Amino acid sequence: MPKFHARVHAILAKDAKVAIIIRRGPSRSVCTIGWDLRSDTFKLGQWLRGRIYERRCDISPDGKHFIYFTLDGKWGSETGGSHSVISKFPYLKAIGLWAKGSGWNGGGLFMSNSTFWLNSPWYKEQAEMRRPPKMEKLNEFPFKESYGGECPGVYYHRLHREGWKMVRDENGTGDDHIRVFEKVLPKGWILEKSAHASINHLVGKGCYYDTHRLLRLENGQVIDCAGWDWVELDRKRLVWAEKGILRAATIHGTGLGPVKDLLDLNSMEFEAIAAPY
């Protein structure tokens, strides 16, 4: 069996200089890591045995709370084998909990620091077991566009909020459905994200995965970033995950400056950690 690098995804808080990293690997082990973007320092949150669906997750604008959907497959448990959770950054221990009972939909988005929406296209699909204090759950669908359930139903709305613009909807080879997003970068560059949805996906990828390119329309320059699993703009630099390593580089007119490795997540192993609340 081939050995795959750690799968890494991150979400930057809208109004705070922090991000949460979701690190998976092996497939049944996942952890969260808090990232201080000002100092590029990191704090390990917690591990769990199961799957966190990173494209159905969100961080509150102030960076204090995390919403996620997890499947542990314990179908006879109180939560029915899967559940949506709100926790305190960067931990996983629930202060809000909704039993799900399947792998469909789940997770959600913060609409503000105190309001959130759960990804439940059908009424009462997620049974509330614990309501987070001083937070309000929206009962109505809060968006104009609908991308269905599953990962796109959360992820694409989060991309729009983060400044990505959907520019194309196209089909790749086989059953691959691709939605192409763009984000304007400094120095005349465009960051292109192709969000793939495919049952017959590449080895080492999930049903949903992204590929990226850097485009400079002024001169037609293209930089293929095929190895990037995740990327985002952080002020005047790009930060991305490549082969299980978190990296950063400033943006220049000719391309990217020297690449700095911020954190290698490949050697991490499961450890039991208690949340301090």
* pLDDT tens-digit readout, 131-182: 999 999 998 899 989 888 789 999 999 999 999 999 999 887 777 889 999 9
* Greater pLDDT, 146 or 93: 93
Binned at pLDDT 50, 70 and 90, residue 12 comes out as very high
Q: What is the predicted pLDDT for the residue at 26?
A: 84
Query: Cα separation of 40 and 96, whole Å?
Result: 29
Query: Cα separation of 56 and 214, whole Å?
Result: 25
The stretch 76-105 carries a mean pLDDT of 93
Query: Cα separation of 103 and 213, whole Å?
Result: 31
Q: What pLDDT digit, counting tens, does each position of 110-133 carry?
A: 999 999 999 986 545 678 899 999
- Low-confidence winner among 1-15, 80-94, 243-257 (lowest mean pLDDT): 1-15
Q: What is the predicted pLDDT for the residue at 170?
A: 85
Q: What is the predicted pLDDT for the residue at 28?
A: 86
Residue 273 in this model has a pLDDT that exceeds 60: yes
What is the four-CA torsion angle of 23, 189, 252, 159, rounded to 10 degrees? -30
